[in-house]
Amino acid sequence: MKKLLWILAFAMVFGLVASTGAFAQKAAPAQAQQPAQQVVQQQMDQAAPQVELTGTLTSANQFIADSGENYQLIPSAKSTELREHLGEKVKLKATVMEDNEGFKSIDVSDYEVLKK
């Protein structure tokens, strides 16, 4: 009977330790993502210098420069303000970022609505 109690106690302790280890492994990826997000933000902060672009906001998140290039707006306070000027010609100060597939996005820091 004592052996059975010892075996049950051992099994319970082993099960508790094993489940705690599995929980720690599941929590680790979320913790690992945090530094990756910080690295991306640092890269954005150190991205190319700001440029001026002139063009038209054609949808809530799409900007077409006078040169014909399309840009996706990165969500920010300024890009939210800019949405009030759909279809109007604007001059932007922005940081341009391009991914490996050639997809371009802009982080707008300032803008000016141009007169028609």
Amino acid 108: pLDDT: 93
As a three-state string, the secondary structure of 18-47 is: HHHHHHHHHHHHHHHHHHHHHHHHHHHHCC
Residue numbers in the chain where pLDDT is lower than 50? 22-24, 28
Query: What is the biggest distance separating any 2 CA atoms in the chain, rounded to whole angstroms?
Result: 93
Predicted local distance difference test score (pLDDT) of residue 61:
84
The pLDDT assigned to 63 comes to 93
